[in-house]
Structure 1
Amino acid sequence: MAETLEATPQRVASRPRLRGAALLGTVPFFAYVAIFLIIPTLVVLIGAFTGDGGHGFTLDNVSALGDEYILAAFGRSFLLSAVSALIGAFSGALLAYAVSTAKPEGALRRAVTAAAGVLAQFGGVTLAFAFLATIGLSGFVTVWLHDHAGLDIFANGVWLFEMPGLILVYTYFQIPLMVIVFLPALDGIRPQWREASESLGGTTWQYWTRVAGPLLAPAFLGSALLLFANAFSAYATAAALVSQGSPIVPLQIRGALTSEVVLGQANVGKAMALGMVVIVAVVMSLYTLLQKRTAKWLG
């Protein structure tokens, strides 16, 4: 008993040490967040309200967001993000459902989820080159169809550098991302619910429209919002495909920061970046709310 009483103060004294060690382990994470998230956001925020030359407070940069070419760029970014998110959400949901019906530890499910994890991060120059080499003006599919089938479906390779091409390329990584984020929600649907619906005389249509559908709706909408934010903030793939012109906001920001023709637009670019930050923050807030609702029903 005496040994226990003597050991108790030592245990109490060791708790602050353990907490200190645990807090010390979070230093790399918070350093990463500060360097790559907080500091860049502050730079954008301050620059958006700073005049040319870095002196004085001004609203001119934010007011420039109302210019026609900037509004047009935001509109095209919304269109690109919305269309690719919708296509990716519906296609990815169907693929995720097919995967959810497979054995949990089966080779098929593991292979699909592993491939989805890789393809969801496949972008930039490599993805642009893959599409150019496949269905570009001199891509092997384009040439093969022309030589063997007499078809010139992709003969006009210019479309790949315009909005239809960007939507197609963005959809390529949107679908696997949807599989990753929507599959856990499908796994949360219990087989007993379908059995209960069938035992009460419910049809498959009634089960999906009255039971599974309403339960999965928040997860589906949240995943679609995540896909929208993913496409809206993407830069590298569009930059690799579109070498001239700035059809979407990230490329407009690049032009404002690096243009050698129009000078003094760096802070306008930061104002556009601030607009993107606000939009993505709103979208991700809605995504978080929907995820909480999903966790409430399927948790």
Structure 2
Amino acid sequence: MTAALTEAAQAPAAAAHRQQRRRRATGTLAVVPLLVLASVAFGIPALAMLNGAFTVRDPATGGTSYTAANLTTSLHGAYLTALLGSVKLSAVSAALGTVLGLLLAQAVVTSRFRALREAVLTASGVLANFGGVPLAFAFVATLGNAGVLTRSLGLRDTGWSLYSFSGLTLVYLYFLVPLMVLTITPALEGLRVQWREAAENNGATPAQYWRHVALPVLAPSLLGGFVLLFGSAFAAYATAAAMVGSSVPLVTLQIADALSGNVLVGQENVALALSLDMVVVAGLVMAVYLPLQRRSARWLA
């Protein structure tokens, strides 16, 4: 009798467990097409890049061999200068974009005018995807050597040059700041009014509130935004190629030159090695970001 009652009590739990397992199996099967597509779209190019990065062709015999010579070449001379230049440009522009985007997003979130908020967010969505040759042409026509503002404000007399590291940073900010606004706005909207009121009731100044309350809460979102901006700037090619050419050393421009044989013929595999270097840099950035994010999440919990 007792065993029968026990089995009757356990029957609903067993049925619920079986139903949950069926739902998990169904969900797994639903994800399979996406996993297959991602494996084909990303896996095959990644394998081709790895194979080419470690392959060297003998010009005399036409035979190929596996070696690390391409990677060694990619980390010396002009290639290393270009890689470091891209990292520096991406880090500086991402840091400035994070700060400016945070300030602009905070002004939008705290604004009493809903129309202004919607207009800024809509414009940010458009400008975050505005890049390439059109963006380079717009800045050349405005701030180039013969640009409208350059001539009207006499910027050439001050030593201003759009075709420099600082000029390229300014151009990158044009699409990085809107991207940061879109990224950080939901996190700013998640800050509770009660937290600010509690800080003010305890005698905290606005600076102390941001230092001890708001910024720790926003830290994961800020780090995520910085990583997103860094990746966008690090991978950008068309804008820099159309505007500065080879006057600013960037790894994406070096890859294009190696693939096209613009400088040296037969350096296609060196271009693949440079691409592998970019993947490693992006992986290192994510390796720094993810532990910080988990630590912040534990602190918030």
- What is the rounded CA distance, in whole Å, between the counterparts of 1:20 and 1:224 in structure 2? 37
- What is the rounded CA distance, in whole Å, between the counterparts of 2:158 and 2:274 in structure 1? 33
Name the amino acid aligned to 1:117: G
> Which residues in structure 2 correspond to 1:141-290 (within 5 Å)?
141-143=149-151, 145=152, 151-154=153-156, 159-244=161-246, 247-290=249-292
The reply on whether 1:127 has 2:129 as its aligned counterpart is no
Name the amino acid aligned to 1:114: T
Name the amino acid aligned to 2:71: V
Find 1:118's aligned residue among 112, 115, 126: 126
Q: How many residues align?
A: 280
The reply on whether 1:40 has 2:25 as its aligned counterpart is no
Q: Describe the SS at the equivalent of 1:179.
A: helix
- Kept after mapping to 2: 8 A contact 1:226/1:284: no
TM-score under structure 1 length normalisation:
0.82
Shift of 1:192: 0.9
- What is the rounded CA distance, in whole Å, between the counterparts of 1:203 and 1:158 in structure 2? 40
- What is the rounded CA distance, in whole Å, between the counterparts of 2:37 and 2:134 in structure 1? 26
- What is the rounded CA distance, in whole Å, between the counterparts of 1:298 and 1:188 in structure 2? 13
Shift of 1:229: 1.9
Shift of 1:86: 1.4
Name the amino acid aligned to 2:109: S
Q: Describe the SS at the equivalent of 2:162.
A: helix
Report the RMSD for the aligned CA atoms in angstroms.
3.0
Residues 1:135 and 1:255: Cα distance change in structure 2 (over 3 Å): same
Residues 1:54 and 1:131: Cα distance change in structure 2 (over 3 Å): farther
Find 2:54's aligned residue among 46, 49, 58: 49
- What is the rounded CA distance, in whole Å, between the counterparts of 2:64 and 2:74 in structure 1? 20
Q: Describe the SS at the equivalent of 2:155.
A: coil
**Alignment match, 2:5:** none
| More off after superposition, 111-120 vs 267-276 | 111-120
Shift of 1:43: 1.4
Percent identical among aligned pairs is 48
- What is the rounded CA distance, in whole Å, between the counterparts of 2:197 and 2:149 in structure 1? 47
Residues 1:158 and 1:208: Cα distance change in structure 2 (over 3 Å): closer
Shift of 1:152: 1.9
**Alignment match, 2:117:** 109
Q: Describe the SS at the equivalent of 1:51.
A: strand
Q: Describe the SS at the equivalent of 1:161.
A: coil
Report Cα offsets for 1:178-211 as digits up to 9, x if no partner: 1111112212211111111222222222212221
Shift of 1:97: 0.8
- What is the rounded CA distance, in whole Å, between the counterparts of 1:161 and 1:35 in structure 2? 39
- What is the rounded CA distance, in whole Å, between the counterparts of 1:239 and 1:166 in structure 2? 11
Shift of 1:160: 2.0
TM-score under structure 2 length normalisation:
0.81
Structure 2 unmatched runs, 5+: 1-17
- What is the rounded CA distance, in whole Å, between the counterparts of 1:50 and 1:137 in structure 2? 44
- Kept after mapping to 1: 8 A contact 2:184/2:225: yes
- Kept after mapping to 2: 8 A contact 1:136/1:157: no
- What is the rounded CA distance, in whole Å, between the counterparts of 1:118 and 1:297 in structure 2? 35
Name the amino acid aligned to 1:213: L
- What is the rounded CA distance, in whole Å, between the counterparts of 1:160 and 1:199 in structure 2? 49
Shift of 1:119: 0.8
| More off after superposition, 287-296 vs 122-131 | 287-296
Name the amino acid aligned to 1:220: L
Find 1:60's aligned residue among 61, 69, 80: 69
Structure 1 unmatched runs, 5+: 1-11, 146-150
Report Cα offsets for 1:55-75 as digits up to 9, x if no partner: 221111111123121121112
- What is the rounded CA distance, in whole Å, between the counterparts of 1:32 and 1:98 in structure 2? 41
Shift of 1:41: 1.7
**Alignment match, 2:10:** none
Residues 1:66 and 1:19: Cα distance change in structure 2 (over 3 Å): closer
- Kept after mapping to 1: 8 A contact 2:246/2:253: no
